[in-house]
A and B are shown apart, each in its own frame.
Chain A
Amino acid sequence: MSLFLREALREFWRGSLSKLGVIFLSIVIIVSFYTTTTMPLDYGTRFWSNPVFWVNNPKAAPPEWVNTFVSPKLLEHKVLSTSLPASVDAVEGSILKRYSVSYKLGVEQFPQFFNLEVSNLTYHEAPPTLILSILKPDGYSIDLYTFIVERPFENESIPFIRYTLEPKRVLLSGEVQVARALSNFISARYGELLSPSQIIDIGYEQIIFGERSALKSFTPLKGTYTLTLTLASRNPNDNIGSCRFILGGQVYGLMGTDLLGRDLFSGLLFGFPVALLIGFATSVITTALGAGLGIMSGYIGGRIDDLIQRFSDIVNNFPQLPLLIFLTFIFGGKLWVIVLVLVAFGWPGLTIIVRSMVLSVKGAPFVESALAVGASRLRIMGRHIFPQVAPFILSQLIFYTPSAILSEAALSFLGLGDPTIPTWGQILEYGFRNGAVYLGYWWWILPPGLLIIYSAITFVFIAMGLEPVVNPRLRRWR
């Protein structure tokens, strides 16, 4: 047997497709392993489907590397953070701690949005005030936003700590206060009076990061901006744990973002173990069930055979996709439901083939001669029949894997996927439903599809490599 196995492996390894398949599979496994160890298992519910988590990301932004190909260059997404004050001043009994970062605008583009996040703020006496201001490259400065930290609760003990679990998040692009500040700035700078609604029309970012070129039109002002968050308080021990300035870009990360600003790279990464799980779980259960029933049906025969045969014949003639849709719809798109439904329709094909193989082997003279020698049923099954069908079953196991992956993707694409787990199919569904193809968001459409193909073709290649091992007629023995 071991000699046989060695020969079979050599035969398998001879094909170039099998080598490619093995390399592809190793990559899938390594990435899946990396993903499951570095990403939380509840990534789907905790992060992926939680819009707040993605609020600082640009929406529907292509990947950063497109800048290699386009001109003019697109603005990159920037997250600037600091936790130490740049300067500390005492003015009229107040302590002013200034936390500042500098932001260099290098391209002719405006940032898409401007967010501020403050976390772990500690104070000891009166609630401090936070002031956000910006110093433009042309020397002008604007105080954009001011707010006072929530006062202590009853019975709260010193020190009072705020924004620990969730940071204080200010989406500046939506704040009316900012409009007022900008209106003031424009009248001071250009001597023009604009109402807050006119400011909103022009866009905050245009005014903050731009220069006026016409009455209501601004062009980007390149150069270095200094963003400062000032903590004004009574107590010198008051401080901010960290503050982050988010300047929304037009490109993001390795794979870009979707309409909710989700980082597609992380979603795509998480899809690897899921695809592997669905593919393997489905194909292993399906092959075990299908082959088991087939062997039983072929070997035991009689009424059980009749029953299994009729049943598998009927189920085999079911139109798969409509029933898959129906059942996942009724039972709800949970991962295990999808797997079970795929199993329910996948087994009969294998049962029918394995049964006929067992039947033909069962009548083969070498089985008859084992019978004539007095071999027990168990021995005949294990030693004579099973080895004949085992390679075929293995190759079917591998061949069924891509079809399970593809079926899950199709169900997900129809909106029947498991909402708690991001999969490539679901990413595509969300993209399709939000018009990604009509808007040309290629980075949202191509990578998930290519990954589905990649994972499926991995197994197709391996299955094709196994073909000469399984099918003795293709074997080149001598």
Chain B
Amino acid sequence: MESIIELDNIRTHFQIYKSLFKTVTVKAVDGVSLRINKGETVSIVGESGSGKTTLGRTAVKLVEPISGKLIFEGKDITHLRKNLKSFRRKAQIIFQDPFMSLNPYMTVSQIIEEPLIIHGVPREDRPSIIERALQDVRLMPVEEFKMKYPHMLSGGQRQRVGIARAIVLEPIFLVADEPVSMIDASSRAEILLLFEALQKKYKMAVMYITHDLATAKYFSDYIAVMYLGRIVEYGPTLEVLQNPIHPYTRMLIDVVPDLDPQNRFIQRNVIPGEPPSPINPPVGCGFKSRCPLGGECPNDAPQMREIAEGHMVACHRGW
């Protein structure tokens, strides 16, 4: 398969000013390697603070990693500053918050037109492209939606405008950062199905960032589980879900309630406590302090090991 984007041992850290004299480093992403092929979706699953959002932003070069390599279509673009335009045209991102991700002072058609202007699409071609993008995301009748401002739309409609803007340039790589987490449960599937259709149509490589394993299951080919800035388990979606190795992955699977009337009689297998802060992560395995397997682990960080075809896990003991 043709690789679209590769992340090689990416580390993205932030400096936060605590006070005049004190700054702390947040190790949001701390050594992640990942590869997404054409037409494939990789889900990045993790809880808040796991670094999944930062990873997505790093992948589309909205933030700069402090080390590691970013390879896009075979070219190293880690330190590309100028000539970013051709990359921007091919890599897009959709944001979580449908209310803040659209400029309130622009109409729907202006919002979708902007990427076309920036990338020099001739004026006369734009209306038909905008129309097609709106049809793609099923905002119809097109003429009615074109003139609307974001505040006149519902959350789901806004998110569809966001998708239309992202795909209007026909990118080959798309990061979807929790695109449905702020949308009503009953319309989530609608957005995700739409999304899937578009991915197939444009054969995009997609990084789907979510905290929800259940949607990841339906809409991705691979799952990468993140914990404290690192990927702890990676593999084909069904393989990971059916044969989870890392105790954290297992817990994530256990805690998702299915539609089972017996749910109320069982206690879920959840690890007590909360993840440590990425400001001062523990040495070695980040999960050590909470690990239900207990026992002694070596003090070094566990490396990714392949335990089945394409199924990798970073755990000293796990299997």
Contact = CB atoms under 8 A, between A and B. Distances in A.
A and B touch in the complex (CB under 8 A): yes
B319 interface: no
Interface string B116-132: 00110000000000000
A368 interface: yes
Contacts of B95: 365, 368-369
B169 to A, nearest CB: 8
Contacts of B102: 366
Contacts of A383: 103, 106, 114
Nearest to A366: B103
Interface in B77-100: 84-85, 88-89, 91-93, 95-97, 100
B151 interface: yes
A372 B118 CA distance: 11
Interface residues of B, number: 33
Given A369-B93, A369-B165, A375 B105 contact: no
In which size bucket is the chain A interface? 20 to 34
A374 B101 contact: no
A4 B149 contact: yes
Contacts of B165: 369, 373
Interface in B168-223: 169
A9 interface: no
A366 B114 CA distance: 12
A298 to B, nearest CB: 15
A375 B114 contact: yes
Contact of B92 (A373, A387, A388): A373
Given A365-B101, A368-B95, A375 B151 contact: no
A387 B105 contact: yes
A287 to B, nearest CB: 20
Contacts of B68: none
B14 to A, nearest CB: 13
B105 A4 contact: yes
Contacts of B147: 3
Contact of A366 (B101, B115, B169): B101
Contacts of A14: none
A388 B104 CA distance: 8
Interface in A18-51: none
Interface in A367-384: 368-376, 379, 383-384
Contacts of B60: 372
Interface in A423-443: none
A331 interface: no
Contacts of B270: none
A388 B60 CA distance: 25
A171 interface: no
Most buried by B among A1, A366, A384: A366
A477 interface: yes
B88 A373 contact: yes
29 contacts: A1-B105, A3-B107, A364-B100, A365-B95, A366-B100, A366-B101, A368-B57, A368-B93, A369-B93, A369-B95, A369-B101, A369-B165, A369-B166, A371-B62, A372-B62, A373-B114, A373-B115, A373-B118, A373-B119, A374-B84, A374-B89, A374-B118, A375-B118, A383-B103, A383-B114, A387-B103, A387-B105, A388-B104, A472-B104
The 4 closest A-B pairs by CB, nearest first: A374-B88, A365-B101, A365-B95, A373-B115
Interface of B: 57, 60, 62, 84-85, 88-89, 91-93, 95-97, 100-107, 114-115, 118-119, 147, 149, 151-152, 162, 165-166, 169
